[in-house]
Chains A and B, each alone.
Chain A
Amino acid sequence: MAEGKSTAGVLIVATPLVVVASIFALVLLFMTAGGSAAACSGGAGTVDPAKVPTEPVAGYSGEQLTNAALIMNAAVPLGLDRQAQVIGVMTAMGESSLRNIGYGDDINGVVNPDGTPTCSLGLFQQQWCLGSWGTRDQVMDPTYAATQFFTRLAALPDWQTLEPTIAAHKVQRNADPYHYEKFFDAANQVVTAIAGDAASGGGCAGNGSIVYPLGPGFNMTDDYGPRVIDIPGASSWHPAVDLQHWPNNCKDQIYSISDGTVTYIGGIQLTIKSPDGWSASYLHMKLSDISVAVGDTVTAGEPIALTGNEGPSGGCHLDLRINKEGTTDPAIASLKAGEDLGGPSTSYGFVNPEEFYQAFGMVLCQPESCRRP
């Protein structure tokens, strides 16, 4: 970058360059780890627990919403953000269904290694008898309990870039690290409803375990399902969505939509299987533009390939198709697949990618930024 400059110039430039380089490294970190973090916007101000919505939100109501408000407020004096508020509410949903319960796992026979019963209580099911979480009365105080949770969350150096369920697990030390994942969307809805800022863009764009396959601003040139095509021999059923930026639709970076393992590379196709069992296939790339290999472990948001125009295709784009066969995620298993919709055998197992994203509280083709076919 300093070509043609004098030595003095290089020296002067050198210090800012180090700064820029480290900042750039930080950006790369955000870009790659960005897939794992929940991207949230909106303030994290104090709310009035006496004025929570009177109607249920995502199945939670009354006392549960009041407790959510108390949790949100506990994040404020600690200087924590919207993402922390949602993680706090998500965690309490997973521990107590947002009810300040005066019992815990011990009623199900959970014991410590020495045989004594555990003593989990309250919104976050904190073990008061261990001494480090507070007294019995304190862990039953929603504000105190939430403050304990947030203090430990904020002490994790990487909590903002971890998947929310993993961040919560590091504080809670549950049996199942992924227990909280399914509560994220509901927690986001509850926090947004209580904050009352949905109209001004408040909320979190997904839980971080699923991301979009192209950078922002792509269009959808074909959607999922039956279609009319006037080309002889062309398929009348499309078990996929076609996405592209326009212009600059060729050699466009494709990102893995989830964590997973690369299970297939061949022809014009790359397939990645999620640990939850479903698979995502990405089509039309040149094999030389695929940057991963079969057996590789990838994370959500990791660059995997560049868009191409290989195979039966009328221009560079990404064909994204998601097969639910073998999934262990009930929300994905319940989606309709090609065989449920009268599709041909080549559509079996393939679900509508737009419905797939909806299952994670996300919109694949966002009205304000994505043209539909």
Chain B
Amino acid sequence: MKRAAAAVVPLLTALTLAGCVGTAGGPGTATPSSSPSVTSTNPANPTPPVDNATADPVPEAGTDSQAAAIDTAEKAVAAFARPDLSYDEWINGLYPYLTQAGAAAYEDTDPARVPVRQVTGAGTILPASTEVALIVQVPTDAGPYNVSLSRPSTEAAWLADRIRPTEG
């Protein structure tokens, strides 16, 4: 924390001078132990809100969408399951099936350490699939793999965020 603390002090000073402190306040984890003293005196809402809402179910992915997702997932695992390739060949074979986040995570993988050699059966869609995000489970010689797929719209191609062993 030394480095972060050193950065934060002038930072807060500068923000105070700029009158911007009140606008700060990101996600809860940004301030682990330094925040509570202020909030121990949280005022209580005298009339807490009544909430009687029911959540809408998110529609399941259609048959065509599911079939396209299974196809992509199987191809992604097949491209992943090439520990025999050099790094460059391996990642270039895998990139076409990866989202940006997927590419950022898997480009640091050493293909020699991938325990999978081949896809051994058809992929299946896990429950709670949606038209833009779902998970396909693909059987391999190293056990089942879960492929998390997403796409920005129903017109776009499915791409993989994660390719992980179920016993990860």
Complex: A175 Cα to B106 Cα, angstroms? 8
Tell me whether A231 and B39 are in contact (CB under 8 A). no
Interface string of B133-168 (1 = CB under 8 A from A): 111000000000010101111001000011011101
Tell me whether A328 and B1 are in contact (CB under 8 A). no
**Closest Cβ of chain A: how far from B147's Cβ, in Å?**
10
Q: A93 interface residue, CB < 8 Å from B?
A: no
If A40-B32, A246-B43, A297-B101 touch, does A231 touch B20 (CB 8 Å cutoff)? no
Complex: A201 Cα to B35 Cα, angstroms? 12
Tell me whether B127 and A326 are in contact (CB under 8 A). yes
Q: B68 interface residue, CB < 8 Å from A?
A: no
Q: Which residues of B contact A312 (CB under 8 A)?
A: 50-53
If A242-B49, A328-B146 touch, does A263 touch B132 (CB 8 Å cutoff)? yes
Q: Which residues of B contact A313 (CB under 8 A)?
A: 49-53
Tell me whether B29 and A323 are in contact (CB under 8 A). no
Tell me whether A20 and B14 are in contact (CB under 8 A). yes
Tell me whether B126 and A326 are in contact (CB under 8 A). yes
| Residue in B closest to A116 when the chains form the complex, CB atoms | B112
| Residue in A closest to B87 when the chains form the complex, CB atoms | A113
Interface string of B49-84 (1 = CB under 8 A from A): 111111110110000000000000000000000011
Q: A34 interface residue, CB < 8 Å from B?
A: yes
Chain A: interface residue total (CB-CB under 8 A): 123
Tell me whether A219 and B55 are in contact (CB under 8 A). no
| Residue in B closest to A110 when the chains form the complex, CB atoms | B113
A-B contact count (CB 8 A): 305
Q: Which residues of B contact A38 (CB under 8 A)?
A: 29
Tell me whether B113 and A173 are in contact (CB under 8 A). yes
Q: A189 interface residue, CB < 8 Å from B?
A: no
Chain B: interface residue total (CB-CB under 8 A): 85
Tell me whether B153 and A295 are in contact (CB under 8 A). yes
Complex: A277 Cα to B38 Cα, angstroms? 36
Q: A255 interface residue, CB < 8 Å from B?
A: yes
User: Which residues 213-240 of A sit at the B interface, judged by CB distance below 8 A?
Assistant: 213-217, 219, 221-222, 229, 231, 233-235, 238-240
Choose the segment among A63-71, A142-150, A365-373 that binds chain B (4+ C-beta atoms closer than 8 Å).
A365-373
Q: Which residues of B contact A169 (CB under 8 A)?
A: 105, 108-109
User: Which residues 309-327 of A sit at the B interface, judged by CB distance below 8 A?
Assistant: 309, 311-317, 319, 321, 323, 325-326
| Residue in B closest to A299 when the chains form the complex, CB atoms | B101
Tell me whether B44 and A219 are in contact (CB under 8 A). yes
Q: B118 interface residue, CB < 8 Å from A?
A: no
Complex: A244 Cα to B51 Cα, angstroms? 12
Q: Which residues of A contact B59 (CB under 8 A)?
A: 264
**Closest Cβ of chain B: how far from A293's Cβ, in Å?**
9
**Closest Cβ of chain A: how far from B41's Cβ, in Å?**
10
Q: Which residues of B contact A206 (CB under 8 A)?
A: 29
Tell me whether A368 and B36 are in contact (CB under 8 A). yes
**Closest Cβ of chain A: how far from B162's Cβ, in Å?**
5
The 9 closest A-B pairs by CB, nearest first: A212-B28, A326-B128, A31-B26, A315-B49, A261-B133, A314-B50, A369-B39, A215-B25, A221-B48
B residues neighboring A (CB under 8 Å)? 1-4, 7, 10-11, 14-15, 17-18, 20, 24-36, 38-40, 42-45, 47-56, 58-59, 83-86, 99-101, 104-106, 108-115, 126-135, 146, 148, 150-153, 156, 161-162, 164-166, 168
Q: What are 14 sample pairs from A and B whose C-beta atoms fall under 8 A apart?
A: A20-B15, A23-B15, A31-B30, A79-B2, A113-B85, A166-B104, A206-B29, A214-B28, A229-B50, A255-B26, A315-B50, A326-B127, A346-B55, A371-B42
